[in-house]
Amino acid sequence: MRKSSPAPESKHPVVKAAIITGSLGLIGAIIIASSNWSCLQRADRAFQKGSGQNDQPTLASPPTLAPMKFYPTTGIAGNTERVGELRKELGLRGLDPLESGKVLSEAPSGTYFWIYPFNYSLSDLQAGEFEKSEVRQVNIYASVHFEVHKDSVGRISLLGYASREAATNIAGLDGTREYNLVVSPMPWGVCDTLVSIPKERFVSAKRRTVQLPQRDFVVVMDVVVK
């Protein structure tokens, strides 16, 4: 059987030109299509980014801690005056007689009052035991009861007196480490600096009685804050 010979290559110039032109047209079409596909992909990515489809989930920011503050004063008179100024700055009023004797969570916002020192662990605080403290309209025992401020939005802070060193140190805490200090309901000895400690900064607290000269005493709290 005779093998078929390959078709002879056309040598006609018109045919060659047509073949070359067709090949170039096909290549150009492929390039244009590829370019158009890339543009479509970029446009789709831009749309998805603008519509938030490809956004990474945003982590919630940690809550901002209320600052612990201290107020340098001189003597009992100076401390009493500064406490009065602080009440005015916060727009606080004293309790009405019928509001006294309630638990702290029921006390109206925008008020100040006094509570008995407490023994609370972290689990107690997290369980809301602090809010169950009984509030008093009048400070009957200055050496026992701590003043508490409940501001206009319901934030609670305990006022007391600590050493100047402790007061300075707690003002710089950012919530990442703990600090131990003694807080007194009245100024005496080294506990001469007024401090304000927001409720959420307490880690634990334990009360104890300190005997003072001339048979006086004061009930302090050994506090851990962060």
Residue 62 lies in a domain: no
Question: Domain containing 17: what range?
Answer: 13-51
> What's the token pair of residue 92?
């606080």
**DSSP per-residue letters across 39-98:** HHHHHHHHHHHHHTTTPPPPPPPPPPPPPPEEE---HHHHHHHHHHHHHHHHT-EEPPGG
**Which residues touch 9 (CB under 8 Å, ≥6 apart)?**
none
Q: How far is CA 74 from CA 77, 80, 191, in A?
A: 7, 10, 12
Answer yes or no: is 182 within a domain. yes
Count CA atoms closer than 13 A to 116's CA, side-chain side: 11
User: pTM value?
Assistant: 0.71
pLDDT attached to residue 61: 47
The answer to whether position 111 is within a domain reads yes
Domain annotation covers residue 61: no
Question: What is the CB-side half-sphere exposure of residue 199 using CA atoms within 13 A?
Answer: 21
Alpha-carbon distance 224 to 179, whole Å? Answer: 6
- Asked if 203 and 122 touch (Cβ cutoff 8 Å), the reply is yes
Q: Nearest Cα to 192, choosing from 146, 147, 145, 160? A: 160
Q: Please check whether residue 180 lies inside any domain of the structure.
A: yes
**Does residue 218 lie within any of the structural domains?**
yes
* Same-domain pairing of 121 and 31: no
Please give the chain's pLDDT, 226 residues, in tens. Answer: 444 555 555 455 544 544 445 554 545 555 455 555 555 456 556 555 555 544 555 444 445 778 898 887 666 667 788 999 999 999 999 999 999 999 999 999 999 999 999 889 989 988 999 999 999 999 989 999 999 999 999 999 999 999 999 999 999 999 999 999 999 999 998 999 999 999 999 999 999 999 988 879 999 999 999 9
Question: Would residue 132 count as lying in a domain?
Answer: yes
The total number of structural domains in the chain stands at 2
Q: What is the pLDDT of residue 215?
A: 73
